[in-house]
Amino acid sequence: MAGFGRWQRLLLDAVAEDEVVGLMAALDRHLGRHGTRSEGTAARRAASRLAADGQLGVHRVRVGPGEADAGGGFVVISRPGATFDHDQLQRAARGHTVTVEQPASVADEPTGTAQEQLTAAHRAVQAVAGVEHAAVDARHVHVDHLPAEVAARLAEQLEPGLVELTALQQSLRRHSRHAEAEADVRAGE
């Protein structure tokens, strides 16, 4: 998740684990304690930035008083495009684990579990988004203004990442072609 800040990585990891989760519950779980007011503010700002980029769903949820708390306004985060109902949002806002039904197209796949597929899809989307952000940043680098030794060091540091990205791109293309071929075979049966 290159290019993401601490709070953004925390939130993306949280929705990789749970499709819908209360923002403060995710923060508390990550920190191992109750988050401070400033940590909560930083996490909410990070959630807003990720939502603006389409990488996270952000929901403001009003919760009535319950047995253990006074209620109030809460922020719930989700994977982009996740579907859930009002009760699930309420439970997530209160910090409870929420089980969300998987889309039929994912749940019906024969390979791997639906959760593994959603996690893999989420990680792939995040990797591609990170590359897109890095590409935007790269367009603004004026290489002519760099000292030669810095340019050489950066070129060396870039190499392993480019190798990994090229391997990912090739794997994605292979998988796509394989899935298309299987669909054609099934359609011909």
Q: Which of 179, 140, 183, 135 is nearest to 161 (CA)?
A: 135
DSSP classification of residue 51 = H
> For the whole prediction, is pTM greater than 0.85?
no
**Cβ atoms of residues 85 and 93 within 8 Å:** no
Locus of tokens 């191992």 = 32
Query: Residue 72's beta-bridge partner residues?
Result: 63
Report the C-alpha gap between 78 and 122 in whole angstroms. 11
Say how many C-beta atoms besides its own lie within 10 A of residue 161's C-beta: 13
CATH number of 6-101: 1.10.10
Residues 31, 37: contact at Cβ < 8 Å?
no
pLDDT tens, residue order, the chain (189 aa): 557 888 999 999 888 888 899 999 899 988 889 989 999 999 999 999 998 888 898 988 888 776 556 677 889 999 887 777 788 888 888 888 776 654 444 444 444 566 666 667 767 766 776 677 677 778 888 889 889 998 898 888 888 888 888 888 888 888 888 888 887 887 877
Closest CA to 134 of 164, 171, 161: 161
Distance CA 78, CA 24 (A): 13
